[in-house]
Structure 1
Amino acid sequence: MINSNSIISVIAPHPDDETIALGGTIARFSNYGCKVRILVVSGHLPPLYPKESYERTVEEAKIAFKLLGVDEYQFGSIPATFVHQKPVSELNKLIASFISDSKSDVVFIPYPDRHIDHRVIFDASVVACRPVGEYFPKLVFSYETLSETHWNVPGIEPQFCPEVFIDISDHIEKKIQALSAYKSQLTNVDSRSTDACKSLARFRGSQNGCEYAEAFKIVRMII
C-alpha cells in the first residue's frame, strides 16, 4: 500500500507534535524513499507567547525535520490555542491545499483529544481528505500525541484505540534524537519527555511482537 514512490503528508497542530507522534514512522518511510511533507498549522505566537518563542521552535523543528529526512515543510502563522478562531473555510483551505498540491497518497492527522487545536485541526483535516473529485488520499490515519491524547475522559469522550501499528524498532533512536532537538519544549514536561515517548513506543511494540512501534487509528483505507 505504501511504496518508495508514495507521497506522505503529516498535519501537525504545533511544532514537535509530528515527532512525538510519528517521528519513527517519518524516519522509516523517508529512509524507504517516500517523500514526506509536514504542515505545522499553528505555533507559539502572541498573545500567549513572545514571537521569539515561535522563531525558536521553528528553528528546532527544522533541525528535527532534517534528522528525520523530511523533504518539504510549511509553517502556519496561527497562534497556538487560537486555531478555533480562524474562519473554518480558511483553515480547511490551508490543509486541503497542502494535501492536494502534492496529491498525497498517505495523510496522517491528529486525534481529536484534549487540546482544542488538535480537535479543530482533526475536523478540518477530515474535510480536506473527503473522498470526492478526481483526487483524494486513499490512506488516512489519525495519530496519538503524548500527553494530550491520553488525557481524554474515559466513558465520556472518545478514546484512542489503535488498529494500525508501524514497527519503528530500527528508527527509535532517530526519533529520540529528533525530539531532543526541541530543547525549548522538553523543559520540565515529564509527560512529553523523550523517556515517555520511548516508553510508549516500547509498549506499542510489546503489543505487536516488535521492540518499538507507533500506533494509529484508521480514518480511511482504500486498497
Structure 2
Amino acid sequence: MANIIVVSAHPDDEVIGAGGTLLKHAQKGDKIYWLIITGLFEEYGFSKERIASRNEEIEKVAKMLNVEKTFRFDYPTMQLHSATVIDMVPKISAVFKEVDPEYIYTMNRSDAHSDHRIVFDAVAACTKSFRYPGIKRVLMYECISETEFAPALPEKMFLPNYFVDITRFIENKLEIMKVYASEIDEHPFPRSIENIKALAHFRGASVGVKYAEAFQLIKLIDKD
C-alpha cells in the first residue's frame, strides 16, 4: 500500500490529468491525498453561490476518488506569481512531510496557464530526496485545454514517457468530471467529455491499450 498525492492548481485538474490513475490506485488499496492550491473569493469576482457550489464539487469529487484527506491552500485563482513560490514551498513541504508520499502527481511545467507553471515550480522544490526520502516517483500530468496550448517550443513540450492503462476506469473518470459542470462544454471546446475520452483513446492507442493516461516522468527512484 502506497501513499499518493495529487496536486491541483484548480479543482478539475486532477480528474482531467490523472482521474483514472487515481481510481486505479484506490482499487489497489493505496491512500490518496489531494492538495488544491487555489480557491474562489468574492473579492475576485466570484459569487457566494459559485463559491458554495465549488466547495460542494470538491467534497463530492474527493469522495468519488476515495481521497483520504484534502489539503486546501486557498490562494486566489489566477493570481499566482513568482513570489508566491517562496510562500508556497514551506506549506507544500509540510504537507509532503505529513503524507510521506511515494507518488507525486503534479502539473505540467509548461502549461499555458501561469498558475500551473507556478505550482510546478513550488512542488519541484519539495522533491529533494534527502528531505523527502519516501518519494519514489514524481510525474507531471497533462491537462487538456492547457498543456496543448503551451507555445510550440522545444523547451515547452510535454513529452509523455509513462502511461497508465485506465480502460477499466474511463467511464468512472468521465462521470467524476461531470461533477465540474461549469468547467466542461460541448466539442470543440477542449474540456468536453468527448475530448477527454478521445485523448485517453489516443494515449491508449500509442501504448497498445484501449484507454490510457499519459505522464512525463520527472524522477524515478527504485528502492525497497
TM-based fold match above 0.5 = yes
Q: Residue 134 and residue 21 in structure 1: after superposition, are their counterparts in 2 closer, same or farther (change >3 A)?
A: closer
| TM-score between the two structures when normalised by the length of structure 1 | 0.92
Q: Deviations over 1:180-219 (max 9, x none)?
A: 1111222468211111111100100000110000000011
Match of 2:193 in 1: 194
Instruction: State the distance in 1 between where 2:55 and 2:67 align.
Output: 14
Alignment-mate amino acid for residue 91 of structure 1: M
Match of 1:142 in 2: 140
Q: Residue 80 and residue 69 in structure 1: after superposition, are their counterparts in 2 closer, same or farther (change >3 A)?
A: same
Match of 1:219 in 2: 218
Matches within 5 A, 1:25-174: 25-45=21-41, 46-84=43-81, 87-112=84-109, 113-133=111-131, 135-155=133-153, 157-174=155-172
Alignment-mate amino acid for residue 58 of structure 1: N
| TM-score between the two structures when normalised by the length of structure 2 | 0.91
* Corresponding residue SS for 2:147: helix
Instruction: State the distance in 2 between where 1:58 and 1:187 align.
Output: 20
Alignment-mate amino acid for residue 5 of structure 2: S
CA drift of 1:86 comes to 5.5
Alignment-mate amino acid for residue 117 of structure 1: D
Q: Cα RMSD (Å) of the superposition?
A: 1.7
Instruction: State the distance in 2 between where 1:133 and 1:149 align.
Output: 30
Q: Deviations over 1:37-70 (max 9, x none)?
A: 0001002333143343233122112212212222
CA drift of 1:96 comes to 1.6
Which segments of 5 or more consecutive residues in structure 2 lack a partner in the other structure?
Answer: none
* Corresponding residue SS for 1:49: coil
CA drift of 1:179 comes to 0.3
Alignment-mate amino acid for residue 212 of structure 1: Y
CA drift of 1:134 comes to 6.1
Instruction: State the distance in 2 between where 1:54 and 1:85 align.
Output: 26
Alignment-mate amino acid for residue 182 of structure 2: S
**Higher deviation after alignment, 12-21 or 68-77:** 68-77
Alignment-mate amino acid for residue 40 of structure 1: I
Which segments of 5 or more consecutive residues in structure 1 lack a partner in the other structure?
Answer: none
1:44–1:79 CA contact under 8 A, matched in 2: yes
Match of 1:18 in 2: 14
% identical equivalent positions = 31
Instruction: State the distance in 2 between where 1:62 and 1:157 align.
Output: 37
The alignment of Structure 1 onto Structure 2 pairs a total of residues equal to 219
Q: Residue 93 and residue 108 in structure 1: after superposition, are their counterparts in 2 closer, same or farther (change >3 A)?
A: same
CA drift of 1:85 comes to 6.5
CA drift of 1:100 comes to 1.6
- 1:8 equivalent in alignment to 2:8: no
Q: Residue 8 and residue 47 in structure 1: after superposition, are their counterparts in 2 closer, same or farther (change >3 A)?
A: same
